[in-house]
Structure 1
């Protein structure tokens, strides 16, 4: 799949299991660990962060 397209699978994971969606998008990077912390603080912040990662096509920096 092209890097310009939003992966539907990643988006679904980002909504229902935010850390998994973040991991699929960026791997073991700082964004992944930030997402885990945000998810532990509340499901919604982690979900928003994971969706943002998928939609903006962030990669593991």
Structure 2
């Protein structure tokens, strides 16, 4: 995990779409994360962490 990933991971835990937005802007990943966060907070966190770390 690089130093640029650490703030994204912290934001992904607090506000999942914001962490994904920092990496992918308004790409498909952001919209999927936003939808999952609206449907359920935990799925949004899991998806954001998977996208950012992997």
Q: Retained in 2: the 8 A contact 1:25–1:53?
A: no
Q: Which structure: larger Rg?
A: 1
Name stretches of at least 5 consecutive residues in structure 2 with no aligned partner: none
Alignment of 1:1-61 (within 5 A): 5=2, 7-56=5-54
The structural deviation recorded for 1:32 is 0.3
Where in structure 1 are there 5+ consecutive unaligned residues?
57-61
CA-based RMSD: 1.4
TM-score, structure 2 as length reference: 0.89
Deviating 4+ runs (over 6 angstroms) = none
